Structure 1
Amino acid sequence: MDPTRGSEIVKTRPVLVVSPDAMNQRVESVVVCPLTSQLHPLWASRVACDCDGLPSEVAVDQICTISKSRLGKTLGKLDAATAAEVRAVIRLLYAEN
């Protein structure tokens, strides 16, 4: 997927792993949503969060699969309410109606 096109997110950035633990233990890749400090509070596909002290958003509209070898250190964990909101947005965007 290189070079990137259009509105694809580029550069190294933090991600939120959204694939289930059971899957993550069995395969060499993980499903992630990138985090961004470019805030779009009116976008239904973004979830506000804090990333290492910086106001950020989980870019659910940019969900993708990456190799586990791309993962760096763990920066933290979402609180339960934000995690539930991310799951709801994933269902809204990607589940069949």
Structure 2
Amino acid sequence: MQAFRWGIFLANLDPVIGSEQGKTRPVLVISDEQINQILPVVNVLPITSKKANRTIYPNEVLLEKGIAGLSNESIVLCHQIRTLDKKRLIKKFGMIDSSDLKKQVIETLSFQLGLEK
């Protein structure tokens, strides 16, 4: 049984419309593992490389270089929540193990969705 939650996978996000995050890029799986083992889909947050002087917004989480196999400092885009068929997941880079980082993603996602109000 493959674990998905908190895993960072390379995924094909195309085709997209408008401002949706696209291309083949890393994504963070956030859906509950019990559901991941039952359904053919997972909920993900796209990840983008951090450019120099790029502002990190309140609905984004910074990932340091090397976390879960990422080769660059990166940003988790909590405002770009997607549901993907598992067939879009190309390969697994690694897992987020830090409980502090998991908590930060959950809090940022809750902020984005207005769940803490």
For the criterion TM > 0.5, the same-fold answer is yes
Matched to 1:26, the amino acid is: I
Matched to 2:20, the amino acid is: E
Per the alignment, do residues 34 and 3 of structure 1 end up closer, same or farther by CA in structure 2, a change over 3 Å counting?
closer
Is residue 83 of structure 1 aligned with residue 102 of structure 2? yes
Q: Structure 2 matches for 1:1-97, cutoff 5 A? A: 2-5=15-18, 7-39=19-51, 40-50=54-64, 52-78=70-96, 79-94=98-113, 95=115, 97=117
TM-score normalised according to structure 2 size: 0.73
CA RMSD of aligned residues (A): 1.9
Count of residues in correspondence between the two structures: 96
2:50–2:72 Cα contact (<8 Å) kept: no
Structure 2 Cα separation of the partners of residues 75 and 2 of structure 1: 22
The structure in which a higher percent of residues are helix is: 1
Provide structure 1 residue ranges, at least 5 long, that are not aligned to the other structure: none
